[in-house]
Amino acid sequence: MIHRSLVRALIASVALAAGALLAGCNSDEISLASNAKANQPVPPKLIAEMVAKDMDLQSPILIRLFKQEAELEVWKQDRSGRFALLKTYPICRWSGDLGPKVREGDRQAPEGFYAITPAQMNPQSAYYLSFNTGYPNAYDRSLGHSGSELMVHGDCSSRGCYAMTDEQIAEIYALGRESFFGGQKSFQFQAYPFRMTAPNMARHRNNPNMPFWKMIKEGYDHFEVTRQEPKVDFCEKKYVFDAMKPADAKRDPVFEASAKCPAYIVPEELAQAVREKQEADQAEFVKMVEKGTPVARLNSGVDGGMHKVFAAKLPNGNTGLSEGGQGLALLTLSKPPGTIPPTVNPPRGPVTSPDEPLAASLAPSTSAVRVAAASPPDNQPQSTQSEGFFSSLAQKMGFGSAAADTTASAAQPASAKPKVTDAKPRSEASKTSAAKADTKQASAHPTSKPTETAAAAPAPAPSQGNLVAGAQPVLSTNSFESRYSAMK
């Protein structure tokens, strides 16, 4: 398996060199090819885990993420065709509150189902490595939700993103890269407020986001009973999962997020399995409510969360809205899964668990933050700026355009197309130096690890005036049709 991966990497290098020649030896493309961070191999220990679970290195992946538990799961397809859990990564930092993103600047990290294409992978991220979540999807846009450049990245710093350690994002990025080289056109990213269990639903039963959470729980349940990636469509401003054409239909149904739903069916065997699971969940939910399960408090004023393995390593560490805040002292001697930057900004607030009482008043910080973006050179074409190495390579090799799908293109004009960059908070003291650094970063190649001149200050807690709250948008999705077929 390792030998096959090395052969594939060699072929990819040759293909990239050919693409660079066709493009007149574009130096930026060559720099992407030699980006050591983006080309790190999957660790041997993780490959051994794949072998033990009957998985291939380049088989498809699927990612699930849970805010309250502060965990990111990587699932991988085994040789039976079903997805199995490969590894769970603790999240170093996420911002905002439980609930979906609604508008630009609300610090919310997105919730829902998103497709991650090669064009959304960013090997030159200011946060070591990253991939764009694809927010907003068609559902988000149908509701007028806004936001941009919402990432899963390294550096343990979040302003509407999901932040891992650099070591963790290197592994996750490598797993995604290998799945693309294996032929996967996009991998599914499922983001939830918490594991969609009956106890969690009971604790949050008074949350105004509950209708949205019940809707995405449908997709969660489809995956739970099938261990297959659910097919996702949108109509009537809602999610639809695993829809198929009726038996008497001559063509597949056409879905539009804001339009009336077309005629469709869900396979009966799948529908029955999901109904049985949901009935069992509902029965447990009723029992939890009847026995007086405490209701989680709303409007806590706490900004996001952090997994306890990281909080335990920080002075006055706090897990914020993530669970497991008790017993942090027991984890102080354990080794965290990756390097915690000295500038890390843990959640602020008087609680260490969502179920603990809150102080009567909270004083949110008013410190200014600065957005640091690693933008490509000004003379670089916009399409190249917004697309990653994988997408650019495909265009150079003649595998088709990396343009957005028609829906995304209609929603986002080319002139407004976001760059693949990350928003990173900076302290007031470092504004001047950061502005100079950003100018240099736009044309210089990234170092092995980005630096920060000063500790980031906590931002104000998000407003609770809306039922749902939010993050940052997407890069255009990419069909990636037949891409890398010669490299399988």
Cα separation, 474 vs 482, whole angstroms: 23
Fill in the amino acid letter for 161.
C
Query: Which member of 92, 161, 204, 222 is catalytic?
Result: 161
- As a whole number of angstroms, the distance between CA 317 and CA 338 comes to 17
Among 10, 18, 64, 65, residue whose Cα is nearest residue 41: 10
- What tokens does 181 get? 């080289």
Distance CA 113, CA 64 (A): 9
Q: Are strands 151-153 and 238-241 parallel, antiparallel or unpaired?
A: unpaired
Residue with tokens 């999957």: 42
**Which residue in the list 153, 204, 222, 307 is annotated as catalytic?**
153
25 is catalytic: no
Whether 156 sits among the annotated catalytic residues: the reply is no
Phi-psi region of 165 (alpha: psi -120 to 50; beta: other; left: phi over 0): beta
List, in sequence order, every residue forming a beta bridge with 72; answer none if it has no partner: 65, 89
Please, what's the b/e burial string for 155-164 (b: 16 or more CB within 10 A of its CB; e: otherwise)?
bbbbbbbbbb
Two structure tokens written together for 451: 């630096």
Tell me whether residue 81 is exposed, middle or buried, using C-beta atoms within 10 angstroms of its C-beta: 0 to 12, 13 to 18, 19 or more: exposed
Which amino acids are annotated catalytic?
153, 161
